[in-house]
């Protein structure tokens, strides 16, 4: 597996935790997005659809086992996470068109907080921004909110979450944790 290298010569990986989607969900969202008739932006490939939990950024490759170990030690939710993506939004600052939930479930917010706290001893600082779960439909999107012929209502049931490496526009799963006992 190819690794990027810091100026110091130390290899690193660009990491994030996310909820993945099933093939049927990805197809449904992709088909719904086509109905928007988007003329600008760069559509996210459907195989990259996910709901980010926590973006870690560039992490020394040698720290990946420690990251996995602290997550292994976490007390995870004992039930599947349920999330409804029912809001189409333009995030001008990020130049993104996203699907988001009207309300983030408490169990989801708690999981994100627990991940943030568990990683602090490793020197991985959480973002100072409030967590806003979303699925990115298009990047470099600088248009007004498109009109949807059909309101979004995508019900996601997450049975696990995954640690991904982002490399050259593709996401590679490195580890996975079950959300069902």
Residue 140: CATH number of its domain: 3.90.1140.10
Task: Compute the distance between CA of residue 18 and CA of residue 146 in angstroms, rounded to an integer.
Answer: 26
- Tell whether 106 is covered by a domain: yes
Tell me if 6 is assigned to some domain.
no
**pLDDT (tens digit, 9 = 90+) per residue, 98-131?**
999 999 999 999 999 999 999 999 998 876 678 9
CA distances to 17, 49, 115 from 180, in Å: 17, 22, 17
In a domain, 44, yes or no: yes
CA distance 173 to 162: 6
- Give the number of other Cβ atoms within 10 Å of residue 159's Cβ: 14
Rounded CA gap, 43 and 140, in Å?
9
Domain count, the chain: 1
Residue 1 is predicted with a pLDDT of 46
**pLDDT tens by residue, 1-46:** 455 554 455 688 999 999 999 999 999 999 999 999 999 899 999 9
Q: φ and ψ at 8, to 5 degrees? A: -75, -10
Catalytic residue among 50, 107, 137, 141: 50
Residue 109 lies in a domain: yes
- In the annotation, is 50 catalytic? yes
DSSP state of 147: P
Q: Has residue 47 been placed in a domain? A: yes
Give CA–CA dist 62/13, Å, rounded: 9
| 8 domain residue, yes or no | no
Catalytic residue among 134, 138, 146, 156: 134
Confidence of residue 138 (pLDDT cuts 50, 70, 90): very high
Mean pLDDT of 134-151: 93
What CA–CA distance (Å, rounded) separates 110 from 81? 11
pLDDT, tens only, 81-99 = 899 999 999 999 999 999 9
Instruction: State the residue range of the domain holding 30.
Output: 13-178
Report the pLDDT averaged over residues 141-162. 92
- Least Cα distance to 52 among 120, 121, 117, 129 occurs for 129
**Per-residue b/e over 20-55, b at no fewer than 16 CB within 10 Å?**
bbeeebbeebbebbeebebeebebbebebbbbbbbe
Distance of CA 97 to the CA centre of its chain: 14
């Amino acid at each position: 597996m190819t690794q990027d290298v810091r100026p110091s010569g130390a290899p690193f990986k660009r990491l994030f935790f996310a909820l993945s989607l099933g093939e049927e969900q990805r197809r449904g969202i992709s088909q719904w997005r086509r109905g928007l008739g988007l003329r600008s932006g760069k559509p996210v490939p459907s195989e990259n659809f996910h709901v980010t939990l926590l973006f870690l950024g560039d992490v020394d490759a040698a720290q990946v086992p420690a990251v996995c170990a602290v997550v292994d030690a976490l007390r995870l939710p004992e039930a599947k996470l349920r999330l409804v993506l029912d809001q189409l939004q333009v995030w001008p600052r990020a130049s993104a068109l996203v699907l988001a939930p009207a309300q983030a479930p408490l169990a989801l917010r708690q999981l994100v907080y627990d991940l943030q706290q568990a990683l602090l001893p490793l020197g991985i600082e959480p973002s100072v921004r409030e967590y806003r779960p979303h699925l990115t439909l298009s990047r470099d999107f600088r248009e007004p909110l498109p009109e949807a012929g059909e309101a979004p209502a995508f019900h996601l049931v997450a049975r696990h979450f995954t640690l991904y490496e982002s490399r050259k526009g593709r996401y590679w799963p490195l580890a996975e944790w079950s959300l069902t006992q």
